[in-house]
Amino acid sequence: MASPAARTAVPPALLALAALVLVLVPAAAAAACSAADRDALLSIRAALTEARLGVFSSWAGTDCCAGWYGVGCDPTDGRVADLSLRGEAEDAVMAPAGRPASGVMSGYISDAVCRLGRLSSLVLADWKQISGPVPSCVATDLPYLRILELPGNRLTGGIPPSVGGLSRLTVLNLADNLLSGPIPGSITTLASLKHLDLANNQLTGRVPADFGKLAMLSRALLRRNRLSGPIPASVSSMPRLADLDMSENQLTGSIPDGLGSGHVLTSLYLGANRLSGSIPASLLRNSGLGILNLSRNDLDGAVPDVFTPRSYFMLLDLSRNRLSGGVPRSLASAAYVGHLDLSHNRLCGAIPAGPPFDHLDADSFCGNTCLCGGPLGKCT
């Protein structure tokens, strides 16, 4: 019978290997922070003020890759790859800000950010008081950027014109700021872009005509700006577009024919613009579309009678247009219509009977020319 010592004895070759691993692993695991990147971070910090939470209190010592809050490095070379500070995050540093956490930071985004040449994500979100421009060098000096999120601040000035040069960008979120000027035409060259959120700014001018070139784009949120001109026809051919929100702008012209003819579009918000013409049948025929809000436009013509038993609308708001004709008969065959609003149009005739209508009240139909039946009472 072998002694306990013999049983635990380790072959010398394995011991040598273990020693080798012990020597190599620490070196491979954590290259210390690049000194130039650390200097850039300190300049970024110097331009920002956050007093209450001490978000920057961990930014001390020489190794910015070791425990600096919001800083992430490439372990192989110690270059800063991520800078991510969210004013509404749920973590230990943000906990004193309450629940939901809500921090405040003022100051501006230093050009020094552009010296972090290996940055893959730059997130300074929901700090409410960060002002000044989006440094235009971000678009030219940070070619590895995949995520650029600066929403919920008080940023002014324009979107950097050369933003289209950020060929790896997948997320561009500048929502809820005070940005003005146009959506740069170069944006349509962002071949990897999946998520674009520019909502709640003061952007003017047209949506670039070749917006539809953004073949990977799945969410396009442009709500509440001052965009004018037409909805580009090219949006009809975006293979992955699931959510499109262009509401509360000054868009004119008609809704492009064929919009929603693919099956990935799930929500479309175009309310409170100046859109005219009729509602494309392709939209209402699309059984994947669950939210459609076209209210507060100048749409006319009849509501296309193309609903099917596979139609499933959480929200269908066509109110406050100039739609005429009757309530489409086929709508009665829809699988589900949660919130329907056809009020304040020029509709006429009997409201069809059927399950989708049973739970609706008069508000859904009021302010039309001569609708009757259902919640509006008997047709005479």
Query: Where along the sequence are the contacts to ligand NAG (CB under 6 A)?
Result: 247-248, 271-272, 293, 295-296, 315, 317, 339, 341
How far is the C-alpha of 239 from the C-alpha of 269, rounded, in Å?
A: 18
Shorter beta-carbon distance to ligand NAG: residue 153 or 343 = 343
DSSP class of residue 254? B
Shorter beta-carbon distance to ligand NAG: residue 206 or 339 = 339
- Cβ 338 to ligand NAG, closest distance in Å? 10
Shorter beta-carbon distance to ligand NAG: residue 186 or 252 = 252
- Cβ 269 to ligand NAG, closest distance in Å? 6
Per DSSP, the three-state class of 232 is coil
What is the DSSP annotation of 159-227? Answer: PPGGGGG-TT--EEE--SS--EEPPPGGGGG-TT--EEE--SSEEEEEPPTTGGG-TT--EEE--SSEE
Structure tokens at 117: 């040449």
- Cβ 333 to ligand NAG, closest distance in Å? 22
- Cβ 344 to ligand NAG, closest distance in Å? 12
Instruction: Please name the residue ranges forming H helices in the chain.
Output: 4-8, 12-29, 35-46, 137-141, 281-285, 355-358
Task: Match 């392709």 to its residue by tokens.
Answer: 282
Shorter beta-carbon distance to ligand NAG: residue 249 or 368 = 249
- Cβ 259 to ligand NAG, closest distance in Å? 17
How far is the C-alpha of 214 from the C-alpha of 210, rounded, in Å?
A: 8
- Cβ 200 to ligand NAG, closest distance in Å? 12
Shorter beta-carbon distance to ligand NAG: residue 272 or 283 = 272
> Taking CB positions, which residue lies at the least distance from ligand NAG?
271
For CA atoms 60, 65, 66, 69, the dihedral sign is positive
Name the pairing type of β-strands 147-149 and 128-132. unpaired
219 phi and psi angles, rounded to 5 deg: -125, 125
- Cβ 317 to ligand NAG, closest distance in Å? 4
How far is the C-alpha of 152 from the C-alpha of 175, rounded, in Å?
A: 6
Shorter beta-carbon distance to ligand NAG: residue 118 or 320 = 320
Cα distances (Å, whole numbers) of residue 340 to 290, 294, 319, 331? 12, 12, 9, 10
Q: Which residues are CB-neighbours of 268 under 8 A, at least 6 positions away?
A: 244, 245, 259, 260, 283, 289, 291, 292, 293, 294
Shorter beta-carbon distance to ligand NAG: residue 177 or 295 = 295
Shorter beta-carbon distance to ligand NAG: residue 199 or 371 = 199
- Cβ 293 to ligand NAG, closest distance in Å? 4
